[in-house]
A and B are shown apart, each in its own frame.
Chain A
Amino acid sequence: MAGFVAGLLDATVRASTVLVFASLGEIISERGGVLNLGVEGMMLVGALGGFVVTVVSGSYWLGFFVAGLLGVAMALIHAFLTISLSSDQVISGIMLTLLGTGLTTFFGQEWVSESISGFPRTTLPLVGEYLVGIPVVGEALFRSTAPDFIALALIPVVWFFLFRTNLGLEIISVGEDPETADTMGVDVFRMRYLCVLIGGFFAGIAGAHLSLAFSQLWVPGMTAGRGWIAVALVIFAQWRPERALIGAYLFGLLDALKLRSQAISVQVGAETPFAGTINPALDFVMHPTIMATYPYLATILVLFVTVVRFDSEQLGVPSALLEAYSRETD
């Protein structure tokens, strides 16, 4: 049992990293007032781009970095359309997801059968050996790929950046009240570009983690809605980095359960009352295709509970989210 728990925990941590990257990026973007629904597309572009660079160059670090830059390139389109041209953030984002899906399916066909040696699992230098020895959680938390460690480290970094640095506070002011921020001398446009581009970089490396560390292969559409789950997680996290981790682990767990569901069979004995009803019901809820729906259903449930529990002020939605800023309108 301890082995099963440790294994499940391990799979949970692996599966949550991609959501940590993507939702941290989305938090920064939305804190600046720009909703980015293109995460899914940016992740796909990052996943394929990172994979191709790794195959060609042999360096997964280069792949990881290029994936981030590809995310930035996609985000630049979003930033230009929504910040400079005041276009609808929802339309632009959805179309970027469609664009990313199309581009990666178009160019990705020939890379499906390629194999890479992606990020290996390592321990932290110096202290790693001892930390791995911690029962149950040791292997899961401290024997990971480099991006897993980076993701965990980024949570306090982003928190500090947003809430404890001048730049971070300016970002928040731009997302809350751009007019006032502008009067105070904050360059709203530049700040929003910065947020969207950082968000794009994070989405790109989220995708790269998927293809270079988590799966170590490329399949078109491999993000399977994780970008959208990340968008929902941001609401659940109430735009706070540390809370995004909780959400990411929750969905990582569901992902991990799905992957392990083939290996487990739970049935009650034939002598148990209602065994004739319970066993088919168990078969149904444990069926791999049904297990695959749980992360999506759980996202909706969590979103519902979060929204019902808090009104929009308590929830912490950046007040100027979705609003284009322009100086001429009063």
Chain B
Amino acid sequence: MNVEIDLTAREDVPRWLSYGTPVFTILMALAVSAVALVALDVNPIAAYSTMFLETASDELGLRQTLVKSVPLVLTGLAVYVPLRAGLWNIGAEGQLYAGAIAGTWVGLNVGAPSYVLIPLALAAAGVAGGVWAGVPGWLRARWNVNEIITTLLLTFVAIELANYMVRGPMQGGQGNFPVSALLPTAALLPDLFGTGVHAGFVVGLLAVAATYVIVTRTRVGFEVTFVGSNPAAATQAGMSTVKVYLLVFLLGGAMAGFAGVNEIAGVQGRLRPEFSPGYGFTAIPIALLGRNGAFQVLLAALFFALLFVGGSSMEVVYGVPAALIDVIQALIILFLITAEFIKSYRVDVTIEREPNDRPAGTVGEV
């Protein structure tokens, strides 16, 4: 039997395929993850309906989804912006911690009314996150040091630094418990019109809008996209890749820093070690799913927020580890890149019963 696979490059992508791809990949990821649920003796249909339908139809679930979406959209943008320039920031998690440390420090140590203190804490967090991403950005821009490795490794450094802070200089809980003191009321983000969603949500929306404007409506954004699609041509055209690379990392890092302080001042109330359930890593699939634009990033972040909230209610109801959502995330992207192949090529498989004679010279025998 001889299986022959023919690939022909598609000239244009059928409409159903380009719209159906995201939906299809998510469904495929859920279907494969169902195997993991079955392995733990959980009915996947019941589990998924708890995860999505019950969460989305419940007021508390929706509120939590919006709250969770704040760090996700901000870190998602932190990955998305450098990705526009063709660079990988996979250390948004570390930038989030850097922002959380700086923001908490300002909140605890600066005595000022709310309307001064909150912007100040945000600014400090943005600077800290920007610096945390700026170092890898500068190393990449100036010295061509691989930014994937450096951003990721600095994440571990930031997490350990937060551990140090809550055990050392910022320790402020009862006894020797490794947490910071509670933030004063002035530093806490207010509720949005009594909805139970903190004001960080507005920060997230503003960041999406700002990113959209910068990327699509400004000269800088054009340069970023140009450098991202063809760095050699961009340099020829007189653009500075160093400037662009540094800029996207500073901008992205600042957004991840906002995510950190929003999570502390809006949800946690104090700095805790390892307070983030990996928002900065989920940011990578979010940015990949939404790589076509800032609003798509927002949509992807909302979807993953639903996944997070649904995942924890599934954990409560069925005792299934919420880590399943990590699996789902990764599978979505793995199916997405498979689908991209199907989008660009027609695959024709022909199976013949009689083995063909191999044309001479096509297979190199060693």
Contact = CB atoms under 8 A, between A and B. Distances in A.
A92 B149 contact: no
A327 to B, nearest CB: 10
B161 A106 contact: no
Interface in B202-237: none
B333 interface: yes
Contacts of B364: 184-187
Interface residues of A, number: 53
Contacts of A300: 139, 145, 149-150, 153-154
A293 B39 CA distance: 37
The winner among A98, A170, A186, A228 for most chain B CB atoms within 10 A is A98
A87 B90 CA distance: 19
A296 B366 contact: no
B337 interface: yes
Interface stretch (B114-122, B162-170, B242-250): B162-170
A106 B145 contact: no
A98 B167 CA distance: 29
Contacts of B7: 328
Interface string A96-118: 10110111011101000000000
Contact of A98 (B36, B168, B330, B365): B330
A211 B193 CA distance: 51
Contacts of B154: 296, 300
B156 A224 contact: yes
Contact of A96 (B146, B285, B330, B366): B330
Contacts of B152: 225, 228
Interface string B152-184: 111011001101100110000000000000000
A81 interface: yes
B2 to A, nearest CB: 17
A91 B163 CA distance: 30
Contacts of B148: 37, 90, 94
Contacts of A304: 139, 143, 145
Interface centre among B331, B334, B340, B365, by most chain A C-beta atoms within 10 angstroms, is B334
A102 B325 contact: yes
Contacts of A87: 337-338, 340-341
Contact of A102 (B90, B161, B330): B330
Interface residues of B, number: 50
Contacts of B323: 101-103, 105-106, 220
Contacts of A303: 145-146, 149-150
B326 A85 contact: no
B150 A98 contact: no
B329 A296 contact: no
Given A287-B168, A296-B153, A307-B144, A91 B333 contact: yes
- Classify the interface of chain B: helix, strand, loop or mixed: helix
Interface stretch (A195-203, A229-237, A263-271): A229-237
Contacts of A328: 7, 9
A278 interface: no
B45 interface: no
Contact of A297 (B9, B149, B157, B167): B157
A303 B154 CA distance: 13
Contacts of A85: 337-338, 341
Contacts of B144: 307, 312
B334 A308 contact: no
Nearest to B7: A328
B330 to A, nearest CB: 4
A184 B366 CA distance: 10
B258 interface: no
Given A102-B326, A106-B326, 20 more contacts: A87-B337, A87-B341, A90-B88, A91-B333, A94-B88, A95-B334, A96-B334, A99-B327, A99-B330, A102-B323, A105-B326, A185-B364, A224-B156, A225-B156, A289-B164, A292-B156, A293-B156, A297-B157, A304-B143, A307-B146
Interface of B: 7, 9, 36, 39, 88, 90, 139, 143-146, 148-150, 152-154, 156-157, 160-161, 163-164, 167-168, 281, 284-285, 288, 320-321, 323-331, 333-334, 337-338, 340-341, 363-366
17 contacts: A81-B338, A87-B340, A94-B88, A102-B323, A102-B328, A166-B366, A187-B363, A187-B364, A228-B153, A235-B149, A289-B160, A296-B153, A300-B139, A300-B145, A303-B146, A304-B145, A307-B143
Interface of A: 37, 77, 81, 85-88, 90-92, 94-96, 98-99, 101-103, 105-107, 109, 166-167, 170, 184-187, 220, 224-225, 228-229, 231-232, 235, 284, 287, 289-290, 292-293, 296-297, 299-300, 303-304, 307-308, 312, 328
CB-CB nearest 8 A-B residue pairs: A102-B326, A185-B364, A105-B323, A99-B330, A102-B327, A289-B164, A98-B330, A85-B341
